[in-house]
Amino acid sequence: MGEAVLGAFLPVLLEKLADQEITEYFGRLKGVDKKVLEKWTRTLTAIKAVLIDAEEKQQTESAVKVWLDDLRDLAYDVQDVLDIFDTKMLKRRIERQQGSKSKLWSSPFKAKSNFTLNSAIKKISDRLVEITTQKMQLGLKDQLGVSKKPWKMPPTTSQPDGPVIGRGEAKNKILSDLLSKQEKYHVVGIVGTGGLGKTTLAKDVFNDAATGQFSPKGWVSVSDDFDIVRVTAAVLESVTSAPVQEFKELNSIVEKLSKELAGKKFLIVLDDVWDTCSDGQWNTLQASFHVGAAGSKIIVTTRDANVAKMMGDSGPYNLKPMSEDDCWRLFQYHALLNNRPEDVELLKEKIVEKCDGLPLAARTLGGLLRCKEVDQWEDILDHKMWTLSDQNKKDILPALKLSYHYLPSTLKRCFSYCAILPNDYEFEEMQLVFYWMAEGLIQQQPEENKQMEDLGRDNFQELVSRSLFQKYKQNRVEIHNA
C-alpha cells in the first residue's frame, strides 16, 4: 500500500511546510536559501496533483512504480528534517519557560549539527528537481481539477454488515453438520476464495438460536500468520471472555484451555485459517479439544481445502459464488436504491458482472456508488482498474481498490494510516480515532463546529459504510481483507 500511504501523507507534509513557526526557524538558518520551503511546497504541490494518475499507471508501467518509490523515500526524508525542527522549536520553548541562559554560550557540536542539516536540505532540494524532471518525462497528468462532491453518510450505516442474502441453503447445511451426533469434537470446514462470504456465513451460523446448546462458544480470527501461542491464547480468551496475561508459555495456556473445555459441549470458530498452519501446530492446538463433551464442534473457514482436510473435515463445504439475482439484491441494499431514479436498472447487468458472484464486491461497490451521483456510475464501472485487476487474479478485489481510489483525501489519510496495523487487527472505534488525532490526521474545516473526537467518529463510520472496515463483534472492528 506504499503509493496509497504516499497519497495520504503528502497533504499532511504540505500542511507542515506551511507552518509559520517552521518557516521562521528555517529562515534563520545560515547557508540555506530563504525561499527553500516555498520551492519545496510548490514542487510537492505539483507532484501531489499527478498522484492519482501515477497510482493508476504504476499498475502497468514499472518506471512509474520506481518513481513513486523514490518519491515516498524523499517525502520521508523531508518529514525527518521537519521533525528535527519540531524538536529544536520545542527545546526553545522549554528554555524560554525555564529562563535558560544557554544562548549565552555556543558549542562546536551545534555548528556540526547545522552543517549536517544544511547538507540534508541541499540534497532534498536536488532530489526534488530530479523527481520533477522524471515526472515530466513520464507524462503524468494533473488530476487535481477532478471535482469530488462532499458526501454525508446516510443513517442506515449503523448496521454495516447488512443482511445475509442467498446463503440459506449453505447455512442449513452447516447447521445440520453442527447439530449432528458425534462421539467427540468434530471439525466443520467452510472453503472458498477471498470475498466469497465465508466469515459472514460462519457468523450467521454462530449467532443462530440453534447453536444456543453449545457452551462455551468462542470466535478467533486466525489470519495468515499462524502463531500457535497467539492462536491458543486467543481461543482461551474467547471462551472465557477474559484476557490471558498471566500465561506466556504455550504449555500453561494449553493446560488452562483444557480445564475450561473439559466435559463441556463447546463451539469454536477458527476464522480465516491459511496454509501457514502446519499439521504439528494443529495437533498441539487440538490437544485441548479432546477433553470436551460429545458433540463439540470446530468451524474452520479457509481458502484452502487441504487446510480443512488436515484439520479433520474430509468433506468441507465448498461455498459457491452468489447468483446474479442475489448479488443484485445485496448491491441494492448497500447502494440504497430505494432513493435512486429508475434508470439505475439499465446498469444492472454491468453491476452484476463486476460483482462476479462475490458478496464482498457487491457490498463494497454498493457503498461506493451510493456516494456518487448516478451519472458518475458508468464512469466508475468502466474504470480501467477493473481490467488491470483481471490481469492479476491474486490482486486485491477491484471493488475495494476503487473504493479507496474514490475516497476524499481526508479519509485516504485516515485509512492509509491503518497500513501500519497487522492483518485482521481488531480495534475499538475510539482507539483508532485517538491514533488519528495523535498523528494530526483529522482536520477541522473553518465552517465546522465539531469536536475532534466527533469528526474522527464521522471518518470512522464512513470507512465502515464503504466496507473498508468490517464489524467483528460488539464494539470491535477489524480492517477488511479479502
Q: Which of 416, 379, 387 is nearest to 147 (CA)?
A: 379
| E-strand stretches of 431-475 | 469-473
| DSSP string across 254-314 | HHHHHHHHTT---EEEEEEE-TTS-HHHHHHHHTTGGGSPTT-EEEEEES-HHHHHHTT-S
Cell numbers for 199: 466469515
HSE-up of 440 (CA within 13 Å, CB side)? 8
Q: Report the C-alpha gap between 350 and 358 in whole angstroms.
A: 14
Ramachandran sector of residue 312 (left: φ over 0; alpha: ψ -120 to 50; beta: rest): left
262 Rama class: left (phi>0) / alpha (psi -120 to 50) / beta: beta
Q: Classify 188 as helix, strand or coil.
A: strand
CA angle 210/215/221 to nearest 5° reads 90
Q: Kind of pairing, strands 469-473 and 267-273? A: unpaired
Query: The C-alpha cell of 93 is what?
Result: 520553548
* CA-to-CA separations, 148 to 213, 363, 405, 442, in angstroms, rounded: 52, 22, 12, 19
List of residues 6+ apart from 314 with CB closer than 8 A? none
Q: Which residues pair with 223 in a beta bridge?
A: 273
Per-residue model confidence as pLDDT tens for the chain (482 residues) = 445 556 666 777 777 777 777 777 777 766 666 677 888 888 888 887 777 777 777 767 888 888 888 888 888 888 888 777 777 777 777 777 776 544 443 444 344 455 577 788 888 888 888 988 888 888 877 765 444 444 343 332 223 356 788 899 999 999 999 998 777 889 999 999 888 889 889 989 999 999 999 999 999 988 877 889 989 999 999 999 888 776 568 888 999 999 999 999 999 999 999 888 999 999 999 989 999 999 999 999 999 999 999 999 989 999 999 999 999 999 888 887 765 556 677 788 888 988 889 998 888 888 888 877 777 888 888 877 777 655 444 455 777 777 777 777 778 878 878 877 776 677 788 988 998 888 778 877 656 678 888 888 888 888 887 767 766 554 455 555 43
At residue 137, the pLDDT reads: 85
Helix (H) or strand (E) holding 191: strand 186-191
The confidence score (pLDDT) of residue 348 equals 86
Which residues are 473's β-sheet partners?
Answer: 476
CA 31 vs CA 22, 35, 346: distances in Å: 17, 12, 65
The amino acid present at 222, given as its one-letter code, is V
Contacts of 291 (CB under 8 A, 6+ apart): 258, 261, 262, 263
Residues 6+ apart with CB under 8 A from 90: none
Q: How far apart are CA 49 and CA 88, in angstroms?
A: 32
Q: Which residue has the cell 475499538?
A: 428
Helix axes 198-206, 168-179, angle to 10 degrees: 50
301 near 202, Cβ under 8 Å?
yes
Give dist(CA 473, CA 455) in Å, integer: 23
Q: Are 43 and 128 in contact (CB under 8 A)?
A: yes
Report yes or no on whether pTM surpasses 0.75.
no
Residue 326's identity, in one-letter code, is D
Q: What is the Cα–Cα distance from 33 to 118, expressed in whole angstroms?
A: 10
| d(C-alpha 63, C-alpha 53), whole Å | 13
φ and ψ of 480, to 5 deg: -80, 130
Return the residue matching grid coordinates 458526501.
Answer: 151
The burial class, CB within 10 Å (0-12 / 13-18 / 19+), for 38 is: middle
- pLDDT for residue 472: 59
> What pLDDT, on the 0 to 100 scale, is given for residue 152?
41
